[in-house]
Amino acid sequence: MPVDLELAPKQKRPAGDPCCEPVAYPDVEREQATRLANVAKAIGDPVRLQLVDVLRKHAGKVCVCELVPLFDISQPTLSHHLKKLREAGIVDSERRGLWAYYYVNPEALEDLSRWLS
Amino acid sequence: MPVDLELAPKQKRPAGDPCCEPVAYPDVEREQATRLANVAKAIGDPVRLQLVDVLRKHAGKVCVCELVPLFDISQPTLSHHLKKLREAGIVDSERRGLWAYYYVNPEALEDLSRWLS
DNA sequence: TATGTAGATAGATGCCTGTCGATCTGGAGC
DNA sequence: GCTCCAGATCGACAGGCATCTATCTACATA
């Protein structure tokens, strides 16, 4: 049964008894929604949210070895979370000698922030 | 090996060669971080993010039967997503006769919005 | 060259999640 | 009562994710 998806498709329903007004497609289209959702998903973990919180205050000045003791997780797990944040474009890193320094890329969060408000 | 967690614990490291400045615990404490992360996680799915988008514009005026055709998912799956949003406190519902009407609870998103900006 | 350290990667594991079809529930109308 | 419909729930399944231990890579320093 082909369904007209362009606008609110009206099912068969007692005439004169519409359950609601017609609904248009979301303003946020699938592609943009996926992008925003990916950012939201990335901060959808308490550890990662706190990581972003720390990095926003100490951008470029905190090495990973200082971050590990702040959380009750192993170093590889923290590295995994940082990778997730990197993949979502929320943070980026820079190596100086032995150490790696992470910083927040503010633009990534701006889109989501704009959509929320 | 007991580690002092109160503030930035200094590991053994060549004296006079600190990798970075001391880091304090995240301002956003674990509990609040978990709350914020749960909200972020709830909108961390493209379908749910678009659902919120639609409901913000048609709050209380859209029944579920109008939402289903907007997405390429089955009715039970959509019901599942709405439940997730309900559990996160982002939306709430009201039954009128046969139909269920959902609306966004703006407060739930405000906290996350504030944290982001 | 050998040793130690910061951080990333690999592989395993158990749990969580998105999806479906089938079924249940409860109101509306005959 | 019976039937139809909107929506929620159930049970199953595949894929994803957070976590760990073990290992690897790259740099620094003796």
In total, how many domains does chain A have? 1
In a domain, residue A24? The reply is: no
pTM > 0.80: yes
| pLDDT of A37 strictly over 70 | yes
In a domain, residue A23? The reply is: no
Percentage of chain A exceeding pLDDT 90: 65
In a domain, residue A3? The reply is: no
Cα B67 to Cα A5: distance, rounded to the nearest angstrom: 11
> What is the length of chain B?
117
In a domain, residue A85? The reply is: yes
Among A5-14, A77-86, B18-27, B88-97, the minimum mean pLDDT is found in A5-14
ipTM: 0.86
Element of type H or E holding B91: strand B91-96
| pLDDT of A5 strictly over 50 | no
In a domain, residue A70? The reply is: yes
Owning domain of residue A37:
30-116
Segment B92-106 mean pLDDT: 92
DSSP B50: H
pLDDT at B108: 92
CATH, residue B56 = 1.10.10.10
Task: For nucleotide D19, give the residue with the nearest CA to its C1'.
Answer: A77
B58–chain A Cβ distance below 8 A for any pair: yes
| pLDDT of A88 strictly over 80 | yes
In a domain, residue A48? The reply is: yes
Chain A residues with CB inside 8 Å of B25's CB? 70
Which residues have a Cβ under 8 Å from the Cβ of B38 and sit 6 or more positions away? A44, B88
In a domain, residue A2? The reply is: no
In a domain, residue A67? The reply is: yes
Q: How confident is the model at residue B13 (pLDDT cuts 50, 70, 90)?
A: low
Chain A residues with CB inside 8 Å of B67's CB? 23
